[in-house]
Structures are given as structure tokens and as C-alpha cells.
Structure 1
Amino acid sequence: MATLATIRHISRCIIKTQCFQHESKKQIYHLNPWDLSLLSLHYIQTGLLFPKPRFSINQEDRSSIPTIIGQLKESLSCTLVHFIPLTGRFITQKSNNPHSYSISVDCRDAPGVEFIHSVADLKIADVLSPIDVPPIVHSFFPLNRAVNHDGHTMPFLAVQVTELLDGIFLGCSFNHVIGDGTSFWHFINTWSEVCRKEIKDKGISHPPILERWFPNGAMVR
């Protein structure tokens, strides 16, 4: 079944910060040598699989797919307020004296992250039962095979919500230069917190640290 199934994209959009309280965060963030060493690696890809909630006849029911998609988009927009570097893009600057190149994270325009809603005629068992990962699962992740250096033109974060016959797969692609696995799960846990509490202007329990550490001890602010 999994080898014959296809995936259909229903919608694609860019999610930006819903509101912005701290304009000082919309700046250029410089990268340290450890960050730059990851430019040739692939994006981090992680997926979360959930059983599909039972729907009510009432279309306004909170468990309906349109409601879930809308809530994910709105809460993601609110979460990005605290993780503003994820909304930026890389810029490469050239210096002639001395001759050098530098890559930084430009968040001044904060172009946003990608959000995709798709559908696949698969069941949860089709994903979990095989010993090897079915090839179609790779289609559950946006920006598949993207390299971190592609962040010059591609979003640092892309989310794809794939509706299965009896489940929902949330696939995320995260630029490894912007953060490591711990940073990624910090973002996911914060997004979950915002989504559950439906908070917009309230603070989050664990704000991220956006400053980079450099060998000479200086902090980029």
C-alpha cells in the first residue's frame, strides 16, 4: 500500500510573525565558526505522528482538520515572535580589506517559514509496520535533501502537515546552522505550549537565547 500511495499538496503558504513586540530582535545575527562548519550538511528532519481525532458532525468542532490547520498556523505565527532567527535568511557579505567573505542571518525583513498541508491515502500502520521506512515517508518532509547553505534562498524552517486516513503526520525541516537538535525540540515544545494555551501576548515558559558565543568571549546582541 505504501509503495503505491501518492501524496497530494492541498495548500502552501508562508507564515510570518503575527505580531512583533521587540523590534530589536529584527537584526542581523552573526554566525560563529561552529555554525559555519555546518553549512554543507543537510537540514534536520523530524516527524511527529498522531492519531486522527474523531470528528463531530458540527463543522466548527475543534477536532476538524480545517480547525486544526488554522490553530497550527496561528500558534506557529505567535511562536515565531520568540524565535525570530527562524524567519530570516542567510546573507553573504564580501570584504576587500582584508579579502574575506562572511555569512550572517538577516532577520530585518523576517520573510517567514513555509507551511504545507497535504493528504496521503495511507494508514498509520502503513508507516509504522514495515521494517524499513517506506520511501513515501520522505515526501512527508518539506525541503527534503536541502543543504543548510540553501538557507540563502530557502526558509530556515518548513512544516508539512500530512493528513493520513487515520492519522496526522507533522514533518519539520530545520536548518542545522540556526540550531542543533536541542534547539529544535525547544522550538517544538514552545510551539506546543502556545498551541495548547492559545496564548498570543503572554510570555512563554522558557524563552530561547538568541545570542551567539564567540571564542573571544564577545556576545552578539
Structure 2
Amino acid sequence: MATQVTTKEKHLKVEIINKTYVKPQKPLGRKEYQLVTFDLPYIAFYYNQKLIIYKGGVEEFEETVEKLIDGLKVVLVEFHQLAGKLDKDDDGVFKVVYDDDMDGVEVFSAVAVDTASADLMDEEGTIKLKELVPYNGVLNMEGLHRPLLSIQITKLKDGLVLGCAFNHAILDGTSTWHFMSSWAQTCSGSKSISAVPFLDRTQARNTRVKLDLTPPAQTNGHSNGDTNGDANATQPPAPAPLREKIFKFSESAIDKVKEKVNANPPEGSTKPFSTFQSLSTHIWHAVTRARNLKPEDYTVFTVFADCRKRVDPPMPDRYFGNLIQAIFTVTAAGLLQANRPEFAASMIQKAIDMHDAKAIEARNKEWESNPIIFQYKDAGVNCVAVGSSPRFKVYDVDFGFGKPESVRSGANNRFDGMVYLYQGKSGGKSIDVEISLDASAMENLEKDKEFVIQE
């Protein structure tokens, strides 16, 4: 039965026309993978949502959906964890389990008859986008009885939207885009993928941690809307209204930011600040100004750093799972703003450089001795928290009907100060900065000529 969802404010009508489940194209038997210390802190985050907007693929929409499903069957042979479920062993240790009898990946096809790709490109926030991606407001813990990946393919007037909801307890951004690029490869005619995922998480950490958590009640109703009914018990109180906006930094703008931050290198410094460190400093300063903080107020900069090359022994880039840790830097707002940008950049650079195998091991041991389940917004007071990475080649995800027009994050896991960095569509060093802020702070940020660099 078709389900129609309407967002009155934006007049977006999405009709779900079909739902199916997709399994690997051949039997694999039963496979189990223990979740490790790098995975478990994210069990109380929400599903991680990504949206990719295309202009192609609409002429023969049914054939396009079939092609995407056929490619999905192929790629799931290697990425079969995404077709499984969360479970616990007899000792209460979380694991991801795949079995041929499981449903597999959930796939919706839908139509937004009155919407063109340009309508979505102009959308700054996520009100309209929420209807284009599954599992809004669904916690990762619900992977005990939900698919670990849900996909919605929505036909537009002149293209389509691919909306994916990934269970963040089993993979990070690197693994997400490894899967997406591999799926695109199979849909473009490749018989095999270029990088087979490395699936043994215990090679990165083999400590068994029991989490005494009560699983959430299974939600009812269509899974593509905000959860309701019994699921409300799993939801935290609604946060204050946020505004979301994408700030596009061209290659020349990035060069200007980097030049400014590197103009006065700290005494004794021999290592220039990277593009990431320079842009992070630029954002941290601007958001702190926009918030009108008192000089004595603390502000925290948080980055979710990829630890694949930092652990001992190093793990391959194709390691499938979470291999990230949050790195924190804190200072007083007055001190941040009274100093030149290299002050903040030095703190960020030092925190990242010091997060080596020894620091990672110490963090893991500390967490294992007292496991703390983070909420998605626990990134620090007055924080700027950076996720995703402009290194992910998101605009190369071509399923055979053209490169993306836009890549966005969904509404889940957003809070005041959350920043997502994406490769810019124009290529080169261009970067899209997707920021969520308190509405008044966002208004100030938009007017900040120092932040919004004029070309």
C-alpha cells in the first residue's frame, strides 16, 4: 500500500510505492562479528543518514531501481554485515550477525511528483530532506530488530535522490563511503570491487565489553517517518530549534583561509597548518563570535579522527567498522578571540598529533574500565564538532547515470555546533561546510564578513 507523507510548510509530497528486502546474491551461511571498543560508544547515537541528489536515472525509473538492487546484491556479498542485525552473545557482548534467513537491507522506492532537483539544491535545512531518507529519529540500538541499512530511492521530476540510513554502531564515515563507492562500481558494470572490506574488528581491538543496556521497544508504523508510539520512550527531549546552512568554500577561499592561519607561524614551528586545521580554526573562531560568549565561557573543539593509521599495528583503509575517536580541545572564548588564529590552530594540531597509538590505547582502557554510552550531542560545552571529511570522494559515486549534484547529511545526530565537511562539487580543494547552530547564532554567522569570504 502506498504511503503519502506531506510536509505542509514546504509542500513536499513523497509517495512510497514499494518496499523490498535485498540479500547478498549467494548464500553465505551464518557469520558473526564482535563489536569492539571503537564501535560501542555509538550504540545510543541515531542512524547516520546520507542523501545524494542526482539529475540522471529518472527516465526509466523502474529499470534504474532494478539496476541499483542488482548491484546491491553483488556488493552485499562482501559487505554482508550491512544485511545483518545487531545481537548479543551469552555474556551480553554486542555483535553483528548475518544469516541467510535474515531479511537483508530494506529498500524503498518512492516518488516526489512535484519536486525537482533544483528545489532540493536550494534547501538549506533538513525539513524537506527528512521525507527522502529513512529512519528519522531511530537509535542505533534498534538494530537489534531493524535492518542495519535502509535505503530510499525517490524519483524527482528530473532526477532521483538516494537516501541511506546506516547503523552507526557498525561503521564510520570511511566505511560508509567505501561501501557507497563499491556499490556504484558494481552498478557501473564492474564484476568485482576494487577494495574488499577488512571485516575482522578484533584485529583493531579484542577486548570484550559487556554493556548492560535495555533494548528499545520496536516501533510501529511506516519506518520512513519520525518514530512514534512506544518509540518515544527511546527519544531524548526535543532540543532547541536549530538552523542549518551550507557554506561553500571555493578553492581560492580555502587558500585564503590557509594563508591567513599560516601567516604567523608559532615560534619554533616547522610544520605548517593543514587545510583541515586551518578551516577548523576559521570555523571555531566564527562560531564563537556568533554565539556572543562571555570571555570566561569555555568552548570545545571536537574532531572525530580516523585512527586506522594511528593504531598499532595500523589497520588498512578498507577496515570495515568504526575506527574513530573523538579528540577534544578546550579554551576560554575570550582567550580564543584575543589571540591570532595560529593560537587555536596550534591547539588543534597538537591534539591531533598527540593522538597516537599510546593515547588511543589509554583512551580504550579508560573507557573499558567504565563504559560510557555517549549521546550524539555529548561533544562538549559551546562546542564545534567536526564530522565527515572532505577527503571522501563523494562526487565520484556514479551508479551509471551521472555524478551527484549534491551530497548532504540527514536530520539525525544534529545539535548546536555540529559541522559536516564534504568535498565541494567544483573539485580541487573546495569544501562544503554544513553547520547546525542555534537560530540567533546562525543569523550572526551569516552576517560575519570575516567568515563568509568574498571571492
TM-score, normalised to structure 2's length? 0.41
Native 8 Å contact 1:51 1:168 kept in 2: yes
Residue of structure 2 equivalent to 1:185: 177
Native 8 Å contact 2:53 2:160 kept in 1: yes
Residue of structure 1 equivalent to 2:164: 172
2:148 corresponds to which letter in structure 1?
Answer: F
- Looking at structure 1, the residues matched to 151 and 106 of structure 2 have their Cα atoms a distance apart, in angstroms, of 6
1:92 and 2:88 are equivalent in the alignment:
yes
Residue of structure 2 equivalent to 1:210: 199
Residue of structure 2 equivalent to 1:9: 16
Residue of structure 1 equivalent to 2:139: 147
TM-score, normalised to structure 1's length? 0.83
After TM superposition, the structure 1 = structure 2 runs for residues 1-221 of structure 1, keeping only pairs within 5 Å, are 3-20=10-27, 23=29, 26-53=30-57, 55=59, 64-95=60-91, 101-109=92-100, 110-120=102-112, 121-130=114-123, 132-133=124-125, 135-197=127-189, 199=191, 203-212=192-201, 213-214=204-205
Residue of structure 1 equivalent to 2:359: none
Question: Which of structures 1 and 2 has the bigger CA Rg?
Answer: 2
Native 8 Å contact 1:39 1:148 kept in 2: yes
Secondary structure, counterpart of 1:6 in structure 2: strand
Secondary structure, counterpart of 1:197 in structure 2: coil
Identity score, percent? 29
Shift of 1:93: 3.3
- CA-to-aligned-CA distance 1:21-65 (integer Å, 9 cap, x gap): x55xx311101122111100011111111113574xxxxxxxx11
- Looking at structure 2, the residues matched to 107 and 54 of structure 1 have their Cα atoms a distance apart, in angstroms, of 33
Residue of structure 1 equivalent to 2:319: none
- CA-to-aligned-CA distance 1:123-158 (integer Å, 9 cap, x gap): 11211124x325121111111221111100111111
- Looking at structure 1, the residues matched to 87 and 184 of structure 2 have their Cα atoms a distance apart, in angstroms, of 30
Residue of structure 1 equivalent to 2:226: none
Q: Residues 198 and 71 of structure 1: is their aligned pair in 2 closer, same or farther, counting only changes over 3 Å? A: farther
- Looking at structure 2, the residues matched to 156 and 86 of structure 1 have their Cα atoms a distance apart, in angstroms, of 5
Secondary structure, counterpart of 2:110 in structure 1: strand
- Looking at structure 2, the residues matched to 204 and 165 of structure 1 have their Cα atoms a distance apart, in angstroms, of 32
- Looking at structure 2, the residues matched to 9 and 53 of structure 1 have their Cα atoms a distance apart, in angstroms, of 18
Q: Residues 6 and 106 of structure 1: is their aligned pair in 2 closer, same or farther, counting only changes over 3 Å? A: same
Native 8 Å contact 1:138 1:144 kept in 2: yes
Residue of structure 2 equivalent to 1:98: none
Q: Residues 160 and 33 of structure 1: is their aligned pair in 2 closer, same or farther, counting only changes over 3 Å? A: same
Secondary structure, counterpart of 2:120 in structure 1: helix
Native 8 Å contact 2:47 2:138 kept in 1: yes
- CA-to-aligned-CA distance 1:50-97 (integer Å, 9 cap, x gap): 113574xxxxxxxx11110110011101110010111111112344xx
Instruction: Report which stretch shifted further, 119-128 or 7-16.
Output: 119-128
1:214 corresponds to which letter in structure 2?
Answer: R
Native 8 Å contact 1:44 1:173 kept in 2: yes
- Looking at structure 1, the residues matched to 90 and 183 of structure 2 have their Cα atoms a distance apart, in angstroms, of 36
Residue of structure 1 equivalent to 2:329: none
Q: Which structure is higher in RCO with an 8 Å CA cutoff and minimum separation 6?
A: 1
Shift of 1:168: 0.4
2:83 corresponds to which letter in structure 1?
Answer: T
- Looking at structure 1, the residues matched to 12 and 135 of structure 2 have their Cα atoms a distance apart, in angstroms, of 20
2:137 corresponds to which letter in structure 1?
Answer: R
- Looking at structure 1, the residues matched to 31 and 166 of structure 2 have their Cα atoms a distance apart, in angstroms, of 20
- Looking at structure 2, the residues matched to 133 and 183 of structure 1 have their Cα atoms a distance apart, in angstroms, of 26
- CA-to-aligned-CA distance 1:153-201 (integer Å, 9 cap, x gap): 11111110011111200011111111100000000000000000153xx
1:114 corresponds to which letter in structure 2?
Answer: E
- Looking at structure 2, the residues matched to 2 and 13 of structure 1 have their Cα atoms a distance apart, in angstroms, of 30
- Looking at structure 2, the residues matched to 103 and 193 of structure 1 have their Cα atoms a distance apart, in angstroms, of 31
Secondary structure, counterpart of 1:72 in structure 2: helix
Native 8 Å contact 1:2 1:134 kept in 2: no
- Looking at structure 1, the residues matched to 44 and 36 of structure 2 have their Cα atoms a distance apart, in angstroms, of 15
Native 8 Å contact 2:58 2:158 kept in 1: no
Secondary structure, counterpart of 2:195 in structure 1: coil
Aligned CA RMSD, in angstroms, stands at: 2.1
Secondary structure, counterpart of 1:165 in structure 2: coil
